[in-house]
Amino acid sequence: MGKPSFLLFFTHAFVFMVSGILARTIQDEGSILGANSTRRGLHTACEATNKIDKCWRCKPDWAQNRQLLADCALGFAKGTTGGKGGEIYEVTDPSDDDAVNPKPGTLRCGVTQNRPLWIIFKKDMTITLKHELVMTGDKTIDGRGACVQIANGAGITIMKVKNVIIHGIHIHHIKETPGGVIKDSDTHSGPRAKSDGDGICIFGSSKIWIDHCTLDHGADGLIDVTMGGTDVTISNCIFNDHDKVMLLGVGNELEMNMKVTVAYNKFGCGCVQRLPRCRCGFTHVVNNDYDKWQMYAIGGTDKPTILSQGNRFMAPDDKQYKQVTRRAEATEAEWKTWNWKSEHDILLNGAFFIPSGGNIQHPPGMLEVETKIPVETLTRCAGLLKCTPGQPC
């Protein structure tokens, strides 16, 4: 009788052990299958598709390490760190009641401080600026984790400063607003003329990175870079429903050495012209998706150098506006000397690009063109991202 009891005990123990191993194996395989399912898109998945996004996206701890974003700028703005190393400043109040003595917790109070700050937002909010928002340098406006809109009032002015990042903001329905005395630093407030209604005006400033913003419906330009602005990258943005979208330079001597990268953006519904329009300087237009502009895509005046690489140009159906390029205020003999080149561009629905000039010297810091991944994939996540703390963005 002893031996059978021993055998029965041994058998039960063996079965229990095997069952545990099988259970753990099934659990582990389930985890693996779950991960694979996420990658296959059966669950909510994150997939960074371009070189900028691969630097920071799809990391679940992004909210605990926000300032790592500052290591991700490419193109001519590479090295822009914004408010990295500074304190986190949280916007809790969407009001803009006093342009001279802004309340603590407002966006204006944050951007006018004379120290590096990483500015975030406590909750979803729409900020209607009564006067243009004049920023100091060494700032990051980081809208991740909230739906932040700057709308129905003035826009943002980045004037004669360095090192600014604007990320994850929806800027729309910007209006002309009256001038007045406006604070522009901890120690200075001064008179400002009426604002023109630009979404973002980059004036005489350098190392500026605009990324993952959505911009539409403005009184003037959505983004302008003028009066010596340089080392600027505009990336991963969506532009919609606007006439004169982006102006790079006004023909001033200060702009002869201007360098701007326009990369991974989507120019979509209702964009008419200036995608961008360039005066002077060097503009690198790389891996953008153009969808049926209404007049032209890339324009220029005053002998700019334009290198268009790896873009997708879908022409409008109107036969009159199939040409990607437009030169203005110059005779044919003049504009034929301007260096405009198209390389690896995809021209659809009758789109055509008229090149001119000779060889283009590539300045340091250019973003490398991507030719193996479709532009639609590179720009798939352009514009505002839905970012939830604790989850991949």
Q: Spell out the per-residue pLDDT of the chain, length 393, in tens.
A: 444 443 443 344 443 443 443 333 333 333 333 333 333 333 357 889 999 999 999 999 999 999 999 999 999 999 999 999 999 999 999 999 999 999 999 999 999 999 999 999 999 999 999 999 999 999 999 999 999 999 999 999 999 999 999 999 999 999 999 999 999 999 999 999 999 999 999 999 999 999 999 999 999 999 999 999 999 999 999 999 999 999 999 988 889 999 999 999 999 999 999 999 999 999 999 999 999 999 999 999 999 999 999 999 999 999 999 999 999 999 999 999 999 999 999 999 999 999 999 999 999 999 999 999 999 999 999 999 999 999 999
Give the separation between CA 370 and CA 233, rounded to whole angstroms: 16
* Per-residue DSSP letter, 352: B
Sign of CA dihedral 337, 339, 343, 349: negative
DSSP H or E stretch at residue 182 = strand 180-183
Q: What pLDDT does 253 receive?
A: 87
DSSP per residue, 86-152: SEEEEE-------SSSPPTTSHHHHHTSSS-EEEEESS-EEE--SS-EEEPSSEEEE-TTS-EEEES
| Edge-first strand listing for the sheet containing 148-151 | 125-127, 148-151, 170-174, 214-218, 238-240, 266-267, 289-291, 312-314, 346-348
pTM of the model: 0.89
Residue 148 · residue 107 · CB < 8 Å: no
Quick one: DSSP state of residue 11?
H
- Whole-number pLDDT of residue 164: 98
For the domain 46-378, what is the CATH code? 2.160.20.10
- Report d(CA 375, CA 11) in Å as an integer: 62
Residue-level pLDDT at 44: 55
Q: What single-letter amino acid sits at 244?
A: K
pLDDT at 5: 42
Copy the structure tokens of residue 302: 């005053």
Backbone angles phi, psi at 125, to 5 degrees: -160, 150
Domain residue spans of the chain: 1-45, 46-378
Catalytic one among 57, 192, 274, 327?
Answer: 274
Characterize the bridge pairing of strands 259-263 and 230-235.
Answer: parallel
Using an 8 Å Cβ cutoff, are 148 and 168 in contact? Answer: yes
pLDDT of the residue at 107: 98
Instruction: Tell me if 327 sits within 8 A of 353, measured CB to CB.
Output: no
- How does pLDDT run across 66-107, given as a tens digit for each residue? 999 999 999 999 999 999 999 999 999 999 999 999 999 999
Query: CA-CA distance, 211 to 216, in Å (whole number)?
Result: 15
Sign of the alpha-carbon dihedral angle for 362, 366, 371, 375: negative
pLDDT of residue 37: 33
* Chain position carrying tokens 């799809």: 58
pLDDT at residue 251, rounded to an integer: 87
Q: Which helix (H) or strand (E) holds 190?
A: strand 189-192
Clarify whether 274 is annotated catalytic: yes
